[in-house]
Structure 1
Amino acid sequence: MRFIAGDELGNLKVLRTVETGQKLELKQAITSSRLRAVQKLATKPLGNIAETTLVSAAYADGTITTFSCNRDDSFEKINTWNEPRMKASDCYVGLSASKQGVFSCTSNGALRLESGERGSETASTARLPTRLCDWRLSPSTQKFAYGGDEVDLSIWDVEKAFTTPVANTQLLSDTSSSKKRKRSDALLPAEIWRAKNVPNDSLGLRQPVRITSIAYVTSSECHLLVGTQLGDLRRYDIRAARRPISDWKNIGKTGGIRALESGHTENQAFVSDGASNLFAMDLRTGRVIYAYKGISGAVTSIAPSTSVMVTTSQDRFVRLHSVFPPPSQVSQQQDAKGQVVDKMFMKASPTVISWDQCPDLSFADTRDRADFQEDEDMWEDMEEIGDNERDNRKK
């Protein structure tokens, strides 16, 4: 497996799992002169052979650069552009690469679609509500979801978002007003669905909307997970209701839920909080099936693959984790539990990590085809030993 990591100084590093997923090795690094943190990473295989990966990196200075990460782990720069609507106090909350191009979204609602090709300057822009904390593109790349500070979960149509004009004054009036008033439930022109706030608490007080992270459930278009600053994990089904179908309290023990990712097996999700806790969740019951031990810093980014998982944390370590699916039956006990199998210290604090989405790409495959041909020739030149010769040698 190959993973791409970014750090607080703008550097990118290629990490590979070797020894059948039991060890991490640093294979390649590209040093940046920006001295600006990498806030978001997005990867996408290029071509059908999966020998080259498109890597998109969003930096804190508002620029986005696309690279091609080749079979030998070398980087080749493709294109760079800047988001002029991003202010110094803003940050990137979403980045995704698809066949349409590279999507990016900032905390002040600046949505952009770039082709990502070399020398291309064509871009489509749209305006979303402000004070966003997370933005996710759907698995079909036809929809996207966002949420944030007093911005509840919302689903938009990608095509309509870039083609339908939306008045900025309407968005600002819905999200930036400090007055306590009942907001309109009318959907915006490109909006498909919007969540409704959970019921009031036991004292009859309105519960604040503090969304910190969003994830789609195992390639589903209708099921989403939402983590909150209060430590709650909510599951939504946009076909069933506007309120969550499951609301699990106090999953994030300290500082709320910081990172959230769905696993590659059904009914599995990985959650980290503001302390040093990292959990594996069973989405059928909301129960923590196992927790990872030996982590001394808050986990900032989670990159699950089909067989292992790699995370970054504030203690400057990149960790390799083993993963196990939830039990087939809800009543069964979880026997196999994930562990930290290896870790690597980074000179600069890693901020984000991403899997290159190429499961058939391994360290053994990085040799040239000529090397494989030499191995085949070596075996063909060897003499075959018959049964009689083998018996004589034993005697």
Structure 2
Amino acid sequence: MATYRTADFWAPALHANTLLQLSVPEGERNPIVRPLPIKHGEHAAVGVVKRMLRMGDELLVADDGFRMSSLSLPTDEASVPIVTSQSTHAVPSRGTSIWTGLASLSDSSAVSSLSTGRLTLYNNSAEAAGTRKLGAPVLTLSTPDAGGAFAVGGKELEIGVFDPERTFASSSTKASPKDLYEGEVWRAKNVPHNNLQLRVPVHHLCSSYLPGSTTGIVTGTKGGTVRRYDTRQRKPASDWKVAREGSVAALAPSRLEDNTVWFADHSNLLGALDLRTGKLLYSVPGLAATPHALLPLPTGAGWMGPTIGREQVAGLATVSSDATLRVCGVTPAPSEAPKGNWGSGKKASVMASVGGVGVGTFVFNGFGSGKDVVEKKENGEEEESDEDAEVGEDEEEEMWEGMGEVGEGDDSDDSDEEDEEESDEEQPPRKRRK
């Protein structure tokens, strides 16, 4: 019995009060999708999930009804997620308020952001432990791997780093380009004026801390650039124009390759950027939709798909606007200097895809394993249960038994007519007389 590895995810569903448990196998096997209804009990029903975060043994999910819910994860195949705590956030009745961030501060605490500028702190549950309103729209939120701080940015809100304890202990919303918010410990400066000596608008759409760093931050802007910051200085360390069309609305540092950041723009470009040179290393071909959420897979991933060119490993998972989750493979650079034209081949590809998922962030649940299902015959031999399995030799002989040859059983008149037609075809055409 053959065994294989799987990449497991928790993903949002297209329907309300539903969570998807996905198991994507390596190779050309079909994925396993389990839609799980959420048992809410005395709490309000969970809407369509837009953001989710793993916090200990529970999932913290934000839905389109602006409710934050804490869900207990199923322990076996018979159980379903259960709402353990819940809170509702007030938003303006008019406008286009959306969730713009949900990130972990520690194993038991998290912070969320709304486009209205509201920040909320959670401790061990979905109930708000503190709130804070900034005086500008917050469009991106990120935290370092070690936690203890968070960075926000948005429309006319330059990227800044906040201390959680001081931030949620204050309610002040006063700030200026020179003064910091209460609890803000660092704020970046805008890039220099353009060639026409005009001010460049501040409009950050996504951000992320670099892996293992508390000072390195990268952001994507509405102008289609990727900026790199070092919190030990205020000016951007780098600013590269990378988008072919539109803005850079999603980015994530790679966990398999150093100094590499994945980014996506509005022309369906999903590429890997070298942070040392600002050049595009490679891109994922054949995408039919714009990725909205990027999730880099951890190091040591042994999950492999069908070999395309070189040996590839799973390095990134995405959810796109066509409601499809894709697992993308990359070809890591060799440890030693390669011989020949190593860089001329295909370095990335889509290894597997699962349709029908909700458009929002998702959670990696680790690598699992599975076994090919087989059935035993009466004589004890094993047979694959796949309906598309090849037909055996004995079955093929039985299938052809009783089938006559072509023309067998036809009337003699029909055979004579066919002979006449064949003889006519063999004779050359006659010339017409004038």
Moved more, 195-204 or 301-310: 301-310
Give distance in 1, aligned partners of 2:118 and 2:68: 14
Pick from 325, 345, 353 the counterpart of residue 355 of structure 2: 345
Cα distance in structure 2, aligned partners of 1:328 and 1:198 = 37
| Residue-by-residue CA offset, 1:131-189 (whole Å, 9 max, x unaligned) | 111111222221110111111111111111112x2423x15xx4xxxxxxxxx312222
CA displacement at 1:217 relative to structure 2: 0.8
Gaps of 5+ in 2: 1-6, 302-313, 372-434
Question: Is residue 17–residue 363 contact of structure 1 (8 Å, CA) maintained in 2?
Answer: no
2-side partners of 1:63 and 1:234: how far apart? 33
Query: Distance between the aligned counterparts of 1:27 and 1:313, measured in 2?
Result: 20
Decide whether the 8 Å contact of 2:216 with 2:231 is kept in 1. yes
Query: For residues 363 and 280 of structure 1, do their structure 2 counterparts lie closer, same or farther at Cα, with a shift above 3 Å needed?
Result: same
Task: Provide the C-alpha distance between the structure 2 equivalents of 1:327 and 1:22, rounded to a whole number of angstroms.
Answer: 29
| Superposition pairs of residues 1-395 of structure 1, within 5 angstroms | 1-10=7-16, 11-19=18-26, 24-30=31-37, 36-46=47-57, 54-72=58-76, 74-85=80-91, 89-97=96-104, 98-117=106-125, 121=127, 123-163=129-169, 165-168=170-173, 170-171=174-175, 174=176, 184-239=177-232, 241-249=233-241, 251-265=242-256, 266-306=258-298, 307=301, 308=314, 309-325=316-332, 334=343, 337-346=347-356, 350-356=358-364, 359=366, 361-364=367-370
TM-score w.r.t. structure 1 length? Answer: 0.77
Aligned length: 337
Name the aligned partner's letter for residue 257 of structure 1: V
Relative to 1, partners in 2 of residues 1:44 and 1:114: Cα closer, same or farther, differing over 3 Å?
closer
Contact 1:142-1:159 within 8 A present in 2 as well: no
Letter in 2 for 1:109: G
| Distance (Å, rounded) in 2 between the aligned partners of 1:330 and 1:126 | 52
Q: Secondary structure of the equivalent of 2:361?
A: strand
Which 10-residue stretch deviates more, 4-13 or 215-224?
4-13
Secondary structure class of the residue paired with 1:95: strand
**Are the structure 2 counterparts of residues 330 and 152 from structure 1 closer, same or farther at C-alpha, using a change threshold of 3 Å?**
farther
Contact 1:62 1:86 in 2 (8 A): no
**One-letter identity of the residue aligned with 1:59:** D
For the pair shown, which has the larger CA radius of gyration, 1 or 2? 2
How much does 1:325 deviate? 4.0
Post-superposition offset of 1:36: 4.5
2:141–2:153 contact (8 Å) kept in structure 1: yes
Q: Any conservation in 1 of the 2:252–2:261 contact (CA below 8 Å)?
A: yes
Secondary structure class of the residue paired with 1:353 = coil
1:339 counterpart SS class: strand
CA distance in 2, matches of 1:285, 1:69: 43
CA contact (8 A) 1:9 1:37 kept: yes
Cα distance in 1 for partners of 2:46, 2:166 equals 37
Q: Which moved more, 1:296-305 or 1:195-204?
A: 296-305
Per-residue deviation, residues 54-81 of structure 1 (Å, max 9, x unmatched): 2111112110111122343642322211
Please say which of residues 73-82 and 60-69 is displaced more in the overlay: 73-82
Q: Deviations over 1:209-255 (max 9, x none)?
A: 1111001111311000010111100100111x211111111x12112
- 3-state SS of 2:158 partner: strand
Q: How many Å apart are 1:86 and its aligned residue?
A: 6.0
Report how far residue 283 of structure 1 moved: 1.8
Q: TM-score, normalised by structure 2?
A: 0.70
The alpha-carbon distance between structure 1 residues 162 and 156, as it changes in their structure 2 partners (threshold 3 A), is: same
Write the distance in 1 (CA, Å) between the matches of 2:292 and 2:228. Answer: 21
Structure 1 position 259, deviation (Å): 0.9
Deviation at 1:205, TM superposition (A): 0.6
- Distance 1:329-1:290 versus aligned 2 partners, 3 A rule: farther
- One-letter amino acid matched to 1:234: R
Amino acid at match of 1:312: V
Compute the RMSD of aligned alpha carbons.
2.8
1:29 Cα offset (Å)? 3.1
Rounded to whole Å, the distance in 1 between the matches of 2:93 and 2:109 is 23
Query: Can you give the 5+ residue segments of structure 1 that lack an aligned partner in the other structure?
Result: 47-53, 175-183, 366-395
